[in-house]
Amino acid sequence: MPKKILILSVFIVASCGLAYELIAGALSSYLLGDSILQFSTIIGCYLFAMGVGAHCSKFIRDEDLLARFVDIELAVGFIGGMSAALLFLTFSWMAAPFRTLLYVLVFLIGALVGMEVPLVMRVLNSRQTEFSELVSRVLTFDYLGALAVSLLFPLVLAPYLGLVRTGFLFGMLNIGVALWTIHTFRHELKQVGTRLLRAATVLCLLVAGFSFSDTMVYWGEHGLYGDEIIYSTTTPYQRLVITRWKDDLRLYINGNLQFSSRDEYRYHEALIHPALETLPWARSVLILGGGDGLALREVLRYTNITSVTLVDLDPAMTTAFTRRDELARLNLHSFSDPRVTVINADAAIWLQQNQDMFDAVIVDFPDPSSFALGKLYSVPFYGMVKKHMAVNGLIVVQSTSPFFAPHAYWTIDATLREVGLMTYPYHLYVPSFGEWGFVIASPELHFEVPTHYRLPMRYLNQETTREMFQFPPDMQRLRMEPNRLDTQSLVREFEQDWRQVIR
Between CA 257 and CA 45 the distance in angstroms is: 31
Cα 346 to the center of its chain, rounded Å: 14
Q: What are phi and psi of 374, to 5 degrees?
A: -60, -30
Between CA 115 and CA 53 the distance in angstroms is: 5
- Contact 291/314 with Cβ under 8 angstroms? yes
Between CA 244 and CA 383 the distance in angstroms is: 39
Distances in whole angstroms, Cα of residue 439 to Cα of each of 344, 353, 388: 25, 26, 18
Q: Which of 372, 320, 369 is nearest to 344 (CA)?
A: 320
Q: What are phi and psi of 310, to 5 degrees?
A: -115, 120
Q: Which of 138, 193, 164 is nearest to 13 (CA)?
A: 138
* 68 residue type, one letter: R
Residues composing the chain: 503
Q: How many other C-beta atoms are found inside a 10 Å radius of the C-beta of residue 50? A: 22
Distances in whole angstroms, Cα of residue 470 to Cα of each of 178, 182, 367, 426, 458: 68, 74, 23, 7, 20
Q: How many other C-beta atoms are found inside a 10 Å radius of the C-beta of residue 191? A: 11
Burial of 199 (0-12, 13-18, 19+ CB in 10 A): buried
- Contact 39/371 with Cβ under 8 angstroms? no
Between CA 190 and CA 282 the distance in angstroms is: 80
Q: Which of 61, 250, 48, 84 is nearest to 166 (CA)?
A: 84
Between CA 404 and CA 303 the distance in angstroms is: 37
Active site residues: 364
Q: Which of 195, 187, 69 is nearest to 123 (CA)?
A: 69
**Distance linking the first and last C-alpha atoms of the chain:** 61
Between CA 414 and CA 90 the distance in angstroms is: 40
Q: Which of 309, 483, 503 is nearest to 410 (CA)?
A: 483
Virtual torsion, Cα 265, 268, 274, 275, nearest 10 deg: -150
